[in-house]
Amino acid sequence: MTDPILEMRNISKRFDTTQALDDVSLALYPGEIHALLGENGAGKSTLIKIMTGVHPPDRGEMLLDGKPLTLNSPVEAQAYGIAAIYQEPMVFPDLNVAENIFITHRTRSPFVNWGKMYRDAEEILSQLDVKLDVHESARGLTLAAQQTVEIAKAISLKVRVLIMDEPTASLSAHEVRQLFKLANTLKQQGVAILFISHRMEEVFEIADRVTVFRDGKRISSKPRAEVTPEGAIRDMVGRQIDELYGEHATHARSDVLMSVRGLGKQNTFDNITFDVHRGEVLGFAGLVGSRRTDVGLALFGVEPADVGEITFEGKPVQITSPQQALQTGIAYVSEDRRALGLVMPMSITANISLPMLREYLSALGIINFAAETRTAQQFRERLAIRTPTVQVPVAKLSGGNQQKVMLSKWLNARPQLLILDEPTRGIDVGAKAEVHHMIRDLAAQGLGIILISSEMPEVLGMSDRVLVMREGRQMGIFNRAEATQEKVLAAAMGQGYSE
Amino acid sequence: MTNTLRRYLRPQQIRELSLLLLIIVVLIFFSTQIENYLSPRFFNRIASDVAIIAVVAVGETLVVLTRNVDLSVGSIVGVTAYFMGTYLGNNKDLNPALAVGMAIGLGAALGVINGALVAYGRVPAIITTLGTLAIYRAALVELSGAKTVVIDAMPKWVQDLPSQTFVSFGGLDVRPLMLTALIVVVLFQLVLSFTQFGRRLYAIGSNPEGARFAGLPTERVVFAAFVLCGALSGLGGFMFLARFGNITVVAAQGMELQVIAAVVVGGVNIFGGTGTMFGALLGAILINILQQSLIRMPQISQFWINALLGVLILAAVATDALILSRLRQLWARTSVQMTEGQAKRIASGK
């Protein structure tokens, strides 16, 4: 067997409280396509960032051609021939193809040798066996063509290790074929390719070796012939949930709160159909790019759907703006506290009352500060928001407390249906437990809850039923009893699962 | 001790207090340089000038708070001053209240155009108002035939308005223009602090996406800010007419520079979200004192006075970026410490 080009040995990396990578080893051989599988948060992205010099590892070493390698920046990684392409190509739309290919090249001359640049670009593209006009500006190119440009860019840098991070997620079937052809061409030229995808069938089609990560650890690494889809999925999940979430008592009532039929939005999601009962927690599971958040945004009227029917409390409704959603009784707690949720310089009080300010106006439209403060105090006690006073700007609170302010704000709107989008992302374990407790309380009070979460244990542990999405399509709804990690993940990856 | 100080003084108020201090320092400085400087006559003159800028600056503040800007205020002032002058010249018995109302209405109408383009047309404010700045002025030149409004053609009440004195404190007169400005500043400060509209302005300016998520009618609020800014510029136009009487087609040209300078120097964040009307007023006062005082120093040329205005704007923005953000951090840190301290106290059961 030949020697590996790039070897990662016993790499560990920690971010604050999360151990993103724990003693992980991986070897990339020339002329081999190595697939990396793992759930959201398994550590794939962190590994890529270490390989491309974005982050240094805490422990462990990298070897290039058997010699120790230290990377301080992505530019250095490129100089060693390590390059990455991503789902969204990073091209400059107003530059032409040749300029994009050579954007990172530096020459000693201050002048551009246009003739040479075009000739070299054409040579690289012919080497890849693709036809692309090097004079065309990148703006007009399809996503697939833009990715080709990215690959050409990598080749111009004499790439030896090419990392492809979900390159197929936005491509059509035909474009995927073209990309695979390119990958195989590179493979024959002796490039080592690390291929990351959530599409199981693609992995099994193209990969020579399959490695599975889970919770920052390497679980398995085998030649493709020795791996089955079922086995890979088992490796990806394989953990106990019940101990964390305890006994699940359902609060779901028999009456339907909202029913959604055939909801769709062009190029985003299609034919989403489900019911939410009062007191029910309906989980939305799926991998990155499954478009769960887009469904949430459509239900809240931020990016309204194009087609489909929504019935709320038995009445058909059209939701075209957040104002309307609020009036209907739907609230949405967004994942992005900073940009979408809270007005950071404003006080806790002002943030909580913001959507419902109308209710705090006395005669002449003057804000009734006493009433406003009273509300804030109530929520401070109810949700245990830790702060000296409710007049403190929310920017000064910790993530968990900000999350509580955000929940207060929407609970104050007295919604019937609460959409929670990644409610525990980026908050510590204690605060997380509190949020989970709160979700149960709210369900017990009869609220319908849609819980969008990328954490499989959370979505399975909290939900009465789980709706699984994959690339904008609804793959199925599972009852609590049938929703095992294996089944949900198999559906999320578009893979039938048999026991 | 420092903690109590920190609790009662917010960074914004420190900014305004230091502006007040700066005004006093400037006054003391010039009084040593210019003979007979601190005279009542001088202050009356500044008060009249500041009054116009301050009224327009209040309107501009409403717009800037929403993370927009209105460059067309100078043109709106010029247009209303000219048209009200012409109209009053032909209709001398027009009811004064109606005349003022017409000026405000005309300004508001021009503000509607700005607001509609920015809020609903989604044209960036700086482009929209740069366009209307030129268009309003050009329309004025075209429709007026480049004639001049003269003070003698005005009804008597307009001629008398600027010098009318309600009360006088040792030569310092309280005059209608000044009083109008004070009322406008106080009224709109109350609007900012105590109404839904004010709260929404701040929310939209500091987090536009978040405001939309909170279900706020962002378009309507931005539109309203521009309309009010136009209306206040219209009022400013009427005050301009009363103060100067002789109005040419270049009246109030370049006033937007003074107004935006007043707003920014007064501590209103050009990126929206923070600032007060009192700050804008103080900014207007400081700029005016500097201008009026420097005119009286023969060794300084008129061109340098304009340059000074530019320097002031840059200095104001720089202090905002450097000093205020640090102050805010300091504030944030102390209050988090307070929070943790309290949490410990609660935990230990005290």
Asked if A103 and A92 count as a contact pair (C-beta separation under 8 A), the reply is yes
CATH fold match for the domains A6-236 and A242-492: yes
Those residues of chain B that have pLDDT short of 70 are 1-11, 320-321, 324-325, 327-350
The one-letter amino acid at B134: A
CA–CA distance, A21 with A24 (Å, rounded to integer): 6
Verify whether the Cβ–Cβ distance A388 to B195 is below 8 Å. no
What Rg, from alpha-carbon coordinates, does chain A have? 25
Residue with tokens 């406003």: A372
| pLDDT tens digits, one per residue of B263-277 | 998 888 888 888 999
3 state SS for A175-218: HHHHHHHHHHHHHHCCCEEEEECCCHHHHHHHCCEEEEEECCEE
Asked if B188 and B277 count as a contact pair (C-beta separation under 8 A), the reply is yes
What predicted TM-score, i.e. pTM, was given to this entire model? 0.76
Is residue A226 classed as helix, strand or coil in its secondary structure?
helix
Verify whether the Cβ–Cβ distance B332 to A396 is below 8 Å. yes
| pLDDT tens digits, one per residue of A104-129 | 776 666 777 788 889 989 998 888 87
CATH architecture of A6-236: 3-Layer(aba) Sandwich (3.40)
**Residue of B199, B201, B204, B329 to mutate, testing the A interface (most A Cβ within 10 Å of its Cβ):** B199
Beta carbon pairs, A and B, within 8 Å: 84
What distances in angstroms separate CA B277 from CA A343, A409, B64, B182, one per listed residue? 21, 28, 11, 10
CA distance B40 to chain A (A): 39
CA–CA distance, B219 with B232 (Å, rounded to integer): 20
Indicate the pLDDT class of residue A35, thresholds 50, 70 and 90: very high
Residues in chain A with CB shorter than 8 Å from the CB of B214 are: 322, 354-355, 409
Residues in chain B with CB shorter than 8 Å from the CB of A386 are: 339, 342-343
Residues of B with CB under 8 A from a CB of A: 194-197, 199-200, 202-203, 206-207, 209-217, 273-274, 332, 335-336, 338-339, 342-343
Residue with tokens 């945004």: A297
Indicate the pLDDT class of residue A241, thresholds 50, 70 and 90: low
Residues in chain B with CB shorter than 8 Å from the CB of A340 are: 209-210, 213
CA distance A127 to chain B (A): 46
CA distance B130 to chain A (A): 27
Q: Average of pLDDT values for A454-460?
A: 85
CA–CA distance, B337 with A387 (Å, rounded to integer): 10
Verify whether the Cβ–Cβ distance B215 to A350 is below 8 Å. no
CA–CA distance, A207 with A183 (Å, rounded to integer): 10
Identify how many contiguous H helices and E strands chain A contains and give both numbers: 17, 20
- Residues in Cβ contact with B111 at an 8 Å cutoff, skipping those fewer than 6 apart: B70, B76, B226, B227, B228, B229, B230, B231, B233
Does position A492 have pLDDT exceeding 80, yes or no? yes
Verify whether the Cβ–Cβ distance B206 to A345 is below 8 Å. yes
Residue with tokens 């007191």: A279
Pick B210's closest partner by Cβ from A323, A340, A357.
A340
What are A223's strand-pairing partners? Answer: A209
Nearest CA in chain A to B344: A386
DSSP A293-349: HHHHHHHTTSS--SEEEEEETTEEE---SHHHHHHHTEEEE-S-IIIII--TTSBHH
Residues in chain A with CB shorter than 8 Å from the CB of B332 are: 393, 395-396
CA–CA distance, A491 with A499 (Å, rounded to integer): 14
Asked if A416 and A255 count as a contact pair (C-beta separation under 8 A), the reply is no
| Residue A41 C-beta-side C-alpha neighbours within 13 Å | 13
Max avg pLDDT among A231-245, A333-347, B113-127? B113-127
Tell me: ipTM over 0.85. Answer: no
Burial of A322 (0-12, 13-18, 19+ CB in 10 A): buried
CA distance B273 to chain A (A): 8
B7-343: CATH class: mainly alpha
Burial of B250 (0-12, 13-18, 19+ CB in 10 A): middle
Q: Average of pLDDT values for A329-349?
A: 84
Q: Average of pLDDT values for A473-496?
A: 86
Verify whether the Cβ–Cβ distance B196 to A386 is below 8 Å. no
pLDDT for residue B157: 87
Higher pLDDT residue, A19 or A496? A19
Percent share of chain A, pLDDT over 70: 94
CA–CA distance, A183 with A191 (Å, rounded to integer): 9
A45: tokens are 């992205």
Which bin fits B264, alpha (ψ -120 to 50), beta or left (φ > 0)? alpha
Percent share of chain B, pLDDT over 90: 43
Asked if A84 and A162 count as a contact pair (C-beta separation under 8 A), the reply is yes
Tally of residues, chain B: 350
Stretch among A168-177, A415-424, B319-328 having the lowest mean pLDDT = B319-328
Residue with tokens 């089609």: A205
CA–CA distance, B308 with B302 (Å, rounded to integer): 10
Residues in chain B with CB shorter than 8 Å from the CB of A357 are: 196, 199-200
Pick B195's closest partner by Cβ from A326, A367, A397.
A367
Residues in chain B with CB shorter than 8 Å from the CB of A409 are: 214
Is residue A14 classed as helix, strand or coil in its secondary structure?
strand
CA–CA distance, B232 with B111 (Å, rounded to integer): 10
Calculate ∠ Cα A67-A165-A169, nearest 5°: 165
Indicate the pLDDT class of residue A267, thresholds 50, 70 and 90: confident
Calculate ∠ Cα A427-A428-A430, nearest 5°: 120
CATH architecture of A242-492: 3-Layer(aba) Sandwich (3.40)
Pick B199's closest partner by Cβ from A350, A387, A409.
A350
Verify whether the Cβ–Cβ distance B217 to A323 is below 8 Å. yes
DSSP B197-234: HHHHHHHHHH-HHHHHHTT--HHHHHHHHHHHHHHHHH
Pick A365's closest partner by Cβ from B196, B215, B338.
B196
- Name the residue among A437, A365, A429, A372 with its Cα closest to residue A407: A437
Asked if A468 and A474 count as a contact pair (C-beta separation under 8 A), the reply is yes
Burial per residue of B48-68, b for 16 or more beta-carbon CB atoms within 10 angstroms, e otherwise? bbbbbbbbbbbbbbbbbbbbb
Q: What residue spans define the domains of chain A? A: 6-236, 242-492
What Rg, from alpha-carbon coordinates, does chain B have? 22
Residues in chain B with CB shorter than 8 Å from the CB of A430 are: none
Nearest CA in chain B to A321: B215
Q: Average of pLDDT values for A351-360?
A: 88
Residues in chain A with CB shorter than 8 Å from the CB of B213 are: 300, 302, 322, 332, 334, 340-341
**Residue of A299, A347, A357 to mutate, testing the B interface (most B Cβ within 10 Å of its Cβ):** A357
Verify whether the Cβ–Cβ distance A326 to B215 is below 8 Å. yes
CA–CA distance, A262 with B224 (Å, rounded to integer): 39
Which bin fits B245, alpha (ψ -120 to 50), beta or left (φ > 0)? left
Is residue A366 classed as helix, strand or coil in its secondary structure?
strand
